[in-house]
Chains A and B, each alone.
Chain A
Amino acid sequence: MSVIDPVAPRAAGRPKKLIANPMAKIAALPMIMTALVIFIGCSVWTVVHSFTKSKLLPSSQFVGFDQYERLWSTRRWLASVENIAIYGLVALVFSLVVGFVIAVLLDQKVRAEGAFRTIILFPYSLSFIVTGLVWQWILNPDFGIQYIVRGWGFENFTFDPLHNPDTVLAALLMAGLWQGTGLVAVILLAALRGVDEDIWKASRVDGVPAWKTYIWVVIPILRPAFVTATVLIATGIVKLYDLVVALTNGGPGIASEMPAKYVYDAMFGKQNLGQGFAASTMMLLSVLLILIPWAIFEFRGKKRG
């Protein structure tokens, strides 16, 4: 976009722009239709039906805000929202910070960097279900870490985060970060490689310590990579479902329930589509609440640039 002179198309008039390059537009039509029908159309359908009394099958008997009233007075939903807020915040900050630190360490021209990179990225190639099961075994007190440490002679050692409502989110974070941080590190490492060598030379000439250069010079340059990483992490957080199902199944009690799991259980387990639609509409709304201001901010920034 930035290559084309912004004034020219406007002077030529809009209609010409619409029919310009028709083959490309025809080629894009299926994608545009998919976006309109699948994403927008189905979302609207879901939102509309969240105001109905749909049970196992969709119905068109409207009940106003009943489903939402029930949703926000259900303890399991409230717990889910709280859990995802805590999980999301910690996961976002932690994977960015740790991912960046790993990327910087890998960037120090270490020997066998390829091997380290593979090890760090490896967890990402596993599905969440596998990750969840593996960590369930690691954290199981009967044959996991607790069992091993007790075998070393520490008889009173207790480590059972999965069965304690206060620590189960930490266990979930452990597994989630173990899997996700590697990807962030690799994305940021690739971006670090793109930083001009001259910047480092200039800062060295000026006698600026390396950590200051990273924080004040390199991080701003890595902004696009950080945005990519943030979007990837954020989508992973919103759709968090399989890891919870495999690791804790929402337990103990409802201490690790997540909104996506509430939606699934309401729609298919409780055969109450209306309730599931209301919950998924709230999820959509929360994503939009974060996305729209961010998109506006980004869009304006580019225009000015």
Chain B
Amino acid sequence: MKTSIMRGLLAGVATFVMPFAAGATDLEVTHWWTSGGEANAVQELAKAFESTTGHHWVDGAIAGSGNTARPVIISRIIGGDPMAATQLNHGKQAQELIEAGLMLDLTDIAEEGKWAEIVQPKSLLDACTVDGKVYCVPLNIHSIQWMWTSNAAFEKAGIDPVNNWEELKAAAPKLREAGILPLAMGEQGWQEAYLVHNLLSGTSEDLYYAVYRDKDEDALNSDGVKAVFNELAAAREMSAGGNVQDWNLATAKVINGEAAAQVMGDWAQGEFALAGKKAGQDYNCLIAMGGEPSIATGGDAFYFPLNKDPEITAAQKDLAKVLISPESQVAFNLKKGSLPVRGDVDLAAAGPCMQKGLETLAAGKVITGTDQLITPDAVGQIQDLMAEFFGSDMTPEDAHAAFVEIILNDE
């Protein structure tokens, strides 16, 4: 909070100073990176942009999660008051905006910078491409298939740190006895929905694709999917009494050793780093919650809404080049805890958790993210369903039936 006020003040001061710098353009950049670790990371981008191009980065951070920020971003673009650049997730979120011609075509920059050769995995660039034209800059790879565990919490309960979901379930009663919350979970649908996706991809890649990509009715009603919903009921029990909403507050519980584990995307790493915790020593990261290790390559991308001012358009293209440059890729992703989108950069400074992610990526254990497989409508309905399930005593059978309905009706 304090840093964003400071940044706002600095931006205010800068607007007074900047007119004297020739050729400098103010670019308003919106994003929802507001937790401590995230704000640190985005600072790196602003620094790189301002020092290499001389333009000015006007920070438009929108507090809250993507679910709060996306409506603001999209309604500004549709309403004819576009920002110069904005964060969105890869996938179907921006597709209609692109089709309506509201986004800047970056194909020339992409060809000049040989993005097709440097972006790894290729699916990231594909997610930015509509009808052969490139409309966004992939910035990082985020995967949600992670479980974070606190060594201090297990020590306090007098048991060994767990290595997977099953062990966590077994350890839950002892953790409770020691006054430790077995599973920290923010009571927001999007966080709870991650658990569904992760349990499915952790069961098997085939099942995951049969559900989300093929929307196969037999697969949806298979024992594998039903079992996932029973696991969710176990998760509901383990997370009862947590009383937190925001993901970073849930992460804080794991950092402080008040909770044993959290299922959250790899951006949680930034919070651990900010708190001065060391991976392996203070906390552990388990891909796919200890199940079949594969990660989804969703992530953040920058889109540039179409603008009438040619100066802004030129500055937008400058920003696009900066975002994908090796220097900013390394600086940003190290702070953010995400993986770079290009395979040719050196990440020697990456911690053990990031190394695990890079290894998985290099081994080709990559799955397509849910945002790219189902519509935002279905994503939202699954989140509602999970919010209802975790906030009530809904039976796993009812939740499973509702889930099947949502997937089958998704266009």
Among the listed A253, A268, A275, which residue makes an inter-chain contact with B389, where contact means beta carbons less than 8 Å apart? A253
Q: Judge whether B188 and A268 touch: CB under 8 Å.
A: no
A-B contact pairs, 23 of them (CB 8 A): A55-B377, A57-B96, A70-B409, A76-B384, A79-B388, A141-B243, A163-B243, A165-B391, A165-B392, A249-B245, A250-B387, A251-B387, A253-B389, A253-B391, A254-B391, A255-B392, A264-B71, A268-B71, A269-B71, A269-B380, A271-B96, A271-B377, A272-B376
Q: How far is the CA of A249 from the CA of B191 in the complex (A)?
A: 14
Q: Decide yes or no whether B97 CB sits under 8 A from chain A.
A: yes
Q: Judge whether B390 and A253 touch: CB under 8 Å.
A: yes
Q: Judge whether B71 and A253 touch: CB under 8 Å.
A: no
Q: Judge whether B188 and A270 touch: CB under 8 Å.
A: no
Secondary structure call for the A interface: loop
Q: Judge whether B75 and A75 touch: CB under 8 Å.
A: no
Set of chain B residues within 8 Å of A254, measured between Cβ atoms? 384, 387-388, 391-392
Set of chain A residues within 8 Å of B281, measured between Cβ atoms? none
Q: Per-residue 0/1 for A148-191: is the Cβ within 8 Å of any B Cβ (1 yes, 0 no)?
A: 00000000000010010100000000000000000000000000
Q: Judge whether A57 and B100 touch: CB under 8 Å.
A: yes
Among the listed A76, A142, A253, A268, which residue makes an inter-chain contact with B243, where contact means beta carbons less than 8 Å apart? A142
Pairs A-B, 5 closest by C-beta atoms: A253-B391, A268-B71, A270-B380, A252-B391, A56-B96
Q: Decide yes or no whether A265 CB sits under 8 A from chain B.
A: yes
Set of chain B residues within 8 Å of A140, measured between Cβ atoms? 243
Q: How far is the CA of A243 from the CA of B243 in the complex (A)?
A: 19
Give the number of residues in A that approach B within 8 Å (Cβ atoms): 30
Most buried by A among B381, B384, B387: B384
Q: Judge whether A269 and B67 touch: CB under 8 Å.
A: yes
Q: How far is the CA of A79 from the CA of B188 in the complex (A)?
A: 17
Least Cβ distance of A263 to chain B in Å?
A: 12
Set of chain A residues within 8 Å of B390, measured between Cβ atoms? 252-253
Q: Please give 12 more A-B residue pairs, beta carbons under 8 A apart, in addition to A55-B375, A57-B78, A254-B392.
A: A55-B96, A76-B384, A79-B388, A165-B392, A251-B187, A252-B391, A253-B392, A268-B75, A269-B67, A269-B71, A270-B380, A271-B377
Q: Decide yes or no whether B70 CB sits under 8 A from chain A.
A: yes
Q: Per-residue 0/1 for A227-253: is the Cβ within 8 Å of any B Cβ (1 yes, 0 no)?
A: 000000000000000000000011111
Count of chain A to chain B residue pairs whose CB atoms are closer than 8 Å in the complex: 75
Q: How far is the CA of A76 from the CA of B243 in the complex (A)?
A: 21
Q: In the complex, which residues 107-153 of chain A have their Cβ closer than 8 Å to any Cβ of chain B? A: 140-142
Least Cβ distance of A285 to chain B in Å?
A: 23
Instruction: Name the CB-closest residue of A to B381.
Output: A270
Q: How far is the CA of A140 from the CA of B249 in the complex (A)?
A: 14
Q: Judge whether A56 and B74 touch: CB under 8 Å.
A: yes
Set of chain B residues within 8 Å of A251, measured between Cβ atoms? 187-188, 245, 387, 391
Q: How far is the CA of A19 from the CA of B167 in the complex (A)?
A: 85
Q: Decide yes or no whether B402 CB sits under 8 A from chain A.
A: yes
Instruction: Name the CB-closest residue of B to A271.
Output: B376
Set of chain B residues within 8 Å of A55, measured between Cβ atoms? 96, 375, 377
Q: Judge whether A56 and B97 touch: CB under 8 Å.
A: yes
Q: In the complex, which residues 60-78 of chain B have their Cβ closer than 8 Å to any Cβ of chain A? A: 67, 70-71, 74-75, 78
Q: How far is the CA of A264 from the CA of B74 in the complex (A)?
A: 13
Most buried by A among B74, B375, B379, B391: B391
Q: Per-residue 0/1 for B367-389: is the Cβ within 8 Å of any A Cβ (1 yes, 0 no)?
A: 00000000111011100100111
Among the listed B74, B387, B388, B392, which residue makes an inter-chain contact with A271, where contact means beta carbons less than 8 Å apart? B74
Instruction: Name the CB-closest residue of A to B71.
Output: A268
Q: Judge whether B78 and A76 touch: CB under 8 Å.
A: no
Among the listed A163, A250, A272, which residue makes an inter-chain contact with B377, where contact means beta carbons less than 8 Å apart? A272
Q: Judge whether A270 and B377 touch: CB under 8 Å.
A: yes
Least Cβ distance of B98 to chain A in Å?
A: 11
Set of chain B residues within 8 Å of A160, measured between Cβ atoms? 243
Q: In the complex, which residues 69-110 of chain B have their Cβ closer than 8 Å to any Cβ of chain A? A: 70-71, 74-75, 78, 93, 96-97, 100
Instruction: Name the CB-closest residue of B to A141.
Output: B243
Q: Per-residue 0/1 for B107-121: is the Cβ within 8 Å of any A Cβ (1 yes, 0 no)?
A: 000000000000000
Instruction: Name the CB-closest residue of A to B384.
Output: A76
Q: Judge whether A76 and B388 touch: CB under 8 Å.
A: yes
Q: How far is the CA of A250 from the CA of B381 in the complex (A)?
A: 14
Set of chain B residues within 8 Å of A142, measured between Cβ atoms? 243
Q: Per-residue 0/1 for A244-288: is the Cβ within 8 Å of any B Cβ (1 yes, 0 no)?
A: 000001111111000000001111111110010000000000000
Set of chain B residues within 8 Å of A269, measured between Cβ atoms? 67, 70-71, 376, 380
Set of chain B residues within 8 Å of A268, measured between Cβ atoms? 70-71, 74-75
Q: How far is the CA of A55 from the CA of B78 in the complex (A)?
A: 13
Q: How far is the CA of A79 from the CA of B67 in the complex (A)?
A: 21
Set of chain B residues within 8 Å of A253, measured between Cβ atoms? 387-392
Set of chain A residues within 8 Å of B245, measured between Cβ atoms? 249, 251
Set of chain A residues within 8 Å of B392, measured between Cβ atoms? 165, 252-255
Q: How far is the CA of A70 from the CA of B96 in the complex (A)?
A: 22
Least Cβ distance of A173 to chain B in Å?
A: 19
Instruction: Name the CB-closest residue of B to A274.
Output: B377
Set of chain A residues within 8 Å of B384, measured between Cβ atoms? 76, 254
Instruction: Name the CB-closest residue of B to A76.
Output: B384
Q: Per-residue 0/1 for B234-246: is the Cβ within 8 Å of any A Cβ (1 yes, 0 no)?
A: 0000000001010
Q: How far is the CA of A48 from the CA of B350 in the complex (A)?
A: 55
Instruction: Name the CB-closest residue of B to A77.
Output: B384
Q: In the complex, which residues 14-57 of chain A have their Cβ closer than 8 Å to any Cβ of chain B? A: 55-57
Q: How far is the CA of A255 from the CA of B377 in the complex (A)?
A: 21
Q: How far is the CA of A76 from the CA of B93 in the complex (A)?
A: 23
Q: How far is the CA of A48 from the CA of B331 in the complex (A)?
A: 50
Q: How far is the CA of A42 from the CA of B96 in the complex (A)?
A: 23
Q: How far is the CA of A160 from the CA of B243 in the complex (A)?
A: 10
Q: How far is the CA of A57 from the CA of B78 in the complex (A)?
A: 8
Least Cβ distance of B369 to chain A in Å?
A: 17
Set of chain A residues within 8 Å of B100, measured between Cβ atoms? 57
Instruction: Name the CB-closest residue of A to B192.
Output: A253
Q: Per-residue 0/1 for B215-230: is the Cβ within 8 Å of any A Cβ (1 yes, 0 no)?
A: 0000000000000000
Most buried by B among A253, A254, A272: A253
